[in-house]
Structure 1
Amino acid sequence: MSPIDRRVNGPRLQALLGRWEHGGPAYQSLADGVRGLVRTGALPLGTRLPGEREVADSLGVSRTTVTAAYDLLRDEGFLLSRRGSGTVTTLPAGAGDRAPATLGTVETGLVDLSAAAPTAPPQLADACAAALDQLPRHLGDTGYVPLGLPALRQAIADRYTARGVPTGPEQVLVTTGAQQAIHLLMVTLAGPGDRVVVEHPTYPHAIDAARGAGARPVPVPVTATGLDVELLASTVRQTSPRLVYLVPDHHNPTGTSLDTDARARVRDLARRTRTVVVGDETLTDLTLDGPPPPPFAGDGADDLVVCVGSASKSFWGGLRVGWVRAHPDLVGRLAQRRAHVDIGSSVLDQLVTTELLAHADAVLGARIVTLRHQRTVLLDALADALPSWRVPVPGGGLSTWVDLGAPVSSALAAVAYGHGVRIVPGTAFGVDGTFEDRLRVPFSQPVDVLRRAVDGLAAAWAVLDPTTVPATGRAAPALV
């Protein structure tokens, strides 16, 4: 049985269910509603449900209806009841496999949608040339700069300050990509047996980093309207995690963003509970609709709020440069831990990134225009070729989180590979095998590649009959 990390009361379950009655027996409708919440992660595994009488009172139904619904869900394997533990959510045997999210190798003719990452901007060549001009002045040194080049740390600090978050270079640690930054935070702040709260779904490699540190990820749902901050607060109070990992801007994979009030509530939660909250801002620059989101760190005065950034999404993944903005004491701790892995990031990559940051407005302005067009092309192609899919329009980022309407994501990913498309099933973005009815589809590729990708996905969908795939079957391994 999944460890119990949280509880929901009757009114909260009622709010999550919404309009749950759809005709037919009431117990069947209620069971369908709860089952759907479990499958989509809105009710994470290990959540203790309220008792039958409390549910009946909250929903205005008879206790017999609730009893029948709970019995059906227990028979199907979505609920488990034990004396002293109450009734908790779970998954049927064999349905809890999380697909790996490793990137695939380059293969000619294969459209690779396993990574939501853009191609290099045209300004990269000039930035490389300028960096080479700067390189000779560094050749008299060893090239080992554990904290990062001073010029790059200053450029990153200046960018935060320009957004309204006063920052000095002593608050910045340059890392070899955001992934190393996340890894360092996990192994420095958490250890074996500790809990790390993550959004659900979330960035797969953050889940891997938490587990790599020996910690246990505790999921909090992200719905179509964003993170459930109320449940986040109760989960932090109940589980006392060592840190919380969030993607506040253009969330990967759902595309949602925290509003101003939610950001303030998260910062207040960090202060009240003395919990480190990490905001992954790798997608912050990629706002496609409306004004850019407010800074996650607010005025930057909260020492327990840590930010992670990267050049990969804003500029190019081939630049292995990321960073952490944190209190100088934590920057020092992370640098010491980093010495166990490497001594510093590539000097040349850091010089190139410094040049790109100096011209970030022009680079990102062109990038956003391109991404808007690619998003339109992808959404139009999906609407034409796969009209049964529910495809949200993200306000930023690099992908859309598609509702397939059936728990077939792993099967679809396996079949799609045979039709020339590598894509990660939805289960890769969860901690426990949920999201079999979801698929992240990036629009970060050129439009001709996106059209080929949709053709391949449509061909795979035509082969795959969702009505014949068992709702509780084992997830196929992702071919990525």
Structure 2
Amino acid sequence: MRRLRCPAGLECAQTIIGSSRPIGRNWLEDSVRQVSATEFAQAIAGWQQHAGRKAEQVAAALLDALQAQEIPFGSVLPAERAAAAALGVSRTTITEAYSLLREGGLLESRQGSGSRLHRPDGSRKSPALPSFEPDSRLSSFSDRAGDESRPGQFVDLSSGSLPGLPLVGDAWRRAADRGIDALLAADGYEPRGHLPLRESIAALCTSTGVPTDPDQILVTSGSQQALEIISRTWIDDNEPIVVEDPSYRGALEAFRARGAQMYTIAVERDGADVQALERITRRTHPRFVYLLPTSHNPTGVHMSAEKRQTVADLANERGFVVIEDASSAHLAFRPPPAANLFGLVNPAQSVLIGSLSKLFWGGLRVGWIRGPRPMIERFQRAKVAMDLGTSLPSQILAQELLPHTAEAMKTRATTLLDGLAELEQALTLHLPHWSWTRPDGGSGLWVRAPGVDTESLADAARLSGVRFTPGPAFSSVGGQAEMLRLPFGRTGRLEEAVARLAGIASVS
């Protein structure tokens, strides 16, 4: 398990302990009380408000509960399975949360006695709690509040999200002019999605060679929610799933949170290593394979037509479900192969994730899942439990935008190619020993920094006013240590950011 660093605002163990009563000599001196799973859940209610992955959120909430003495020292925490059921998370999440507390010296587990919260021995050095600084995709957005206090000083390259297209404003005004009086007559809850929008998405899928009807579409609040729905519905503890390395970090977080056992295959210049896929699926018999064949995130490569056919043949032969994430497919600036991977796989074992948020505007928050009707019905039940339905005004705006998809793709491609040229020029000037392969699409450049620990570089860069995402964030196994992702969708300060990175790298 990676050791994390405590961010500002999270009390250290000594402060937590010292703020209440004198430190006992050992943990047996505290009164022993069994905490039920219900009491546990009540004591850390609101745990999701903490930063980081779910395990980190649970551990941080437990620290709060200790500080508030809602759970006293000496308490025996509920068994991992019971705690997981009470919180509605995977057992793996609780296992990791307890491990974080053990690393911090506040929890001791003994065979037959359970896991007890205890005071560190006062004669020892005060323990350094593992920190809960988030390394997740969500931190790219949640950390911005602190950066906004330094306007003009900070260059944020941590996210590849793009500014909204002017088309969005035009569509917004058209939708407003039409009025919504007819919609207001109903309650506005459409769990599967607004029917006219589902019809338009179905037509879009059909136009790519995959015949689709509206009942095969579930509208989601962006592609991230689509991944959460799929994970909650399908992924259990130790569920084997094959992912690429590197891969989209939002997906890795969703699968990790459910306790999936992830097997990795490398990403080559023409897409996933299908020979590795053949070996892994023969040996482990996974139920699911998650791939990004077009404008792969973060490498930007397209999977070749030959590899798409090989993946489909393996899926059809071995029966695993292919989860194809096409959320970045509309950001292609080189044409992908005509063969759609989704269309090559047996329809009963293939799921497609799509999104309008990356193409038109992140604030739109509209994505979808396309799959067989029985799957969509299961996904719909999971979505209803999450939010009852995607915002209807956003769906109406999305419906207005869909006919302009081709125009938006052309506009994006022009802008992205300009940004890519600017970034490549800056890298060539300031960091000529770094290397990369020109992507086929997407909004980020996957860069190799030979001999550089990019996580350490990211820490140093943050202090100098530059944020970027290091390679290990895109790896389920903590690999890609010399890699980093630099987005180029926002031009203007790329040369400045690269120059700063070059100065930091030279002294690191």
Counterpart for residue 396 of structure 1? 441
Identity of paired residues, percent?
A: 36
Worse overlay, 146-155 or 292-301:
292-301
CA spacing shift, 1:98–1:262, aligned 2, 3 Å: farther
1:299 Cα deviation from its structure 2 partner: 5.6
Query: Structure 2: how far apart are the matches of 1:252 and 1:346?
Result: 27
Which of 163, 166, 173 in structure 2 is aligned with 1:129?
Answer: 173
Counterpart for residue 66 of structure 1? none
1:226 Cα deviation from its structure 2 partner: 2.4
Counterpart for residue 402 of structure 2? 357
Deviation string 1:229-251 (CA, Å, 9 cap, x unpaired) is: 01112212211222111111111
RMSD: 2.0
Counterpart for residue 267 of structure 2? 222
Unaligned runs of 5+ in 1: 2-93, 465-480
Counterpart for residue 492 of structure 2? 448
Query: Structure 2: how far apart are the matches of 1:272 and 1:428?
Result: 33
Greater Rg over alpha carbons, structure:
2
Counterpart for residue 192 of structure 2? 147
Is the 8 Å Cα contact of residues 287 and 319 (structure 2) preserved in structure 1?
no
1:270 maps onto 2:334 in alignment: no
Counterpart for residue 304 of structure 1? 349
Which of 95, 100, 105 in structure 1 is aligned with 2:144?
Answer: 105
Counterpart for residue 160 of structure 2? 116
1:463 maps onto 2:507 in alignment: yes
Paired residue type of 1:366: T
Is the 8 Å Cα contact of residues 282 and 313 (structure 1) preserved in structure 2?
yes
Query: Structure 2: how far apart are the matches of 1:293 and 1:374?
Result: 26
Is the 8 Å Cα contact of residues 284 and 293 (structure 1) preserved in structure 2?
no
Paired residue type of 2:463: G
Is the 8 Å Cα contact of residues 171 and 325 (structure 1) preserved in structure 2?
yes
1:406 maps onto 2:451 in alignment: yes
1:234 maps onto 2:302 in alignment: no
Worse overlay, 453-462 or 308-317:
453-462
Query: Structure 1: how far apart are the matches of 2:226 and 2:164?
Result: 22
Query: Structure 1: how far apart are the matches of 2:413 and 2:135?
Result: 31
Which of 351, 355, 376 in structure 1 is aligned with 2:421?
Answer: 376
Which of 402, 418, 441 in structure 1 is aligned with 2:463?
Answer: 418
Is the 8 Å Cα contact of residues 167 and 300 (structure 1) preserved in structure 2?
no
1:291 Cα deviation from its structure 2 partner: 5.1
Q: Normalization by structure 1: what TM-score?
A: 0.74
Deviation string 1:370-401 (CA, Å, 9 cap, x unpaired) is: 11111111111111111010022111111111
Is the 8 Å Cα contact of residues 99 and 425 (structure 1) preserved in structure 2?
no
CA spacing shift, 1:277–1:241, aligned 2, 3 Å: same
Paired residue type of 1:308: I
Query: Structure 2: how far apart are the matches of 1:211 and 1:222?
Result: 20
Query: Structure 2: how far apart are the matches of 1:301 and 1:237?
Result: 19
CA spacing shift, 1:441–1:432, aligned 2, 3 Å: same
Which of 195, 205, 225 in structure 2 is aligned with 1:180?
Answer: 225
Worse overlay, 327-336 or 282-291:
282-291
Query: Structure 2: how far apart are the matches of 1:337 and 1:100?
Result: 23
Where do residues 19-30 of structure 1 align in structure 2 (5 Å cutoff)? none
Query: Structure 2: how far apart are the matches of 1:342 and 1:174?
Result: 12
1:273 Cα deviation from its structure 2 partner: 1.5
Deviation string 1:411-469 (CA, Å, 9 cap, x unpaired) is: 11111112221111111011122111001111111x213223222222222332xxxxx
Counterpart for residue 304 of structure 2? 259
Query: Structure 2: how far apart are the matches of 1:99 and 1:348?
Result: 33
CA spacing shift, 1:135–1:382, aligned 2, 3 Å: farther
1:144 Cα deviation from its structure 2 partner: 1.0
Deviation string 1:86-136 (CA, Å, 9 cap, x unpaired) is: xxxxxxxx9xx9943321314223221111111100111111112223433
Q: Counterpart of 1:394 in 2: which secondary structure? A: coil
Q: Normalization by structure 2: what TM-score?
A: 0.70
Query: Structure 1: how far apart are the matches of 2:483 and 2:354?
Result: 27
Paired residue type of 1:350: Q
Worse overlay, 286-295 or 202-211:
286-295
Q: Counterpart of 1:268 in 2: which secondary structure? A: helix
1:189 maps onto 2:234 in alignment: yes
Counterpart for residue 203 of structure 2? 158
Paired residue type of 2:464: H
CA spacing shift, 1:333–1:223, aligned 2, 3 Å: same
1:407 Cα deviation from its structure 2 partner: 3.8
CA spacing shift, 1:433–1:307, aligned 2, 3 Å: same
CA spacing shift, 1:134–1:310, aligned 2, 3 Å: farther
Q: Counterpart of 2:172 in 1: which secondary structure? A: helix
Paired residue type of 1:442: P
Is the 8 Å Cα contact of residues 197 and 241 (structure 1) preserved in structure 2?
yes
Counterpart for residue 327 of structure 1? 372
Query: Structure 2: how far apart are the matches of 1:134 and 1:203?
Result: 38
Comparing both chains, which one has the higher relative contact order based on Cα–Cα distances under 8 Å and sequence gaps of 6 or more? 1
Paired residue type of 1:105: R
Is the 8 Å Cα contact of residues 302 and 336 (structure 2) preserved in structure 1?
no
Counterpart for residue 49 of structure 1? none
Deviation string 1:36-65 (CA, Å, 9 cap, x unpaired) is: xxxxxxxxxxxxxxxxxxxxxxxxxxxxxx
Counterpart for residue 60 of structure 1? none
Is the 8 Å Cα contact of residues 195 and 242 (structure 1) preserved in structure 2?
yes
Q: Counterpart of 1:255 in 2: which secondary structure? A: coil
Unaligned runs of 5+ in 2: 2-129
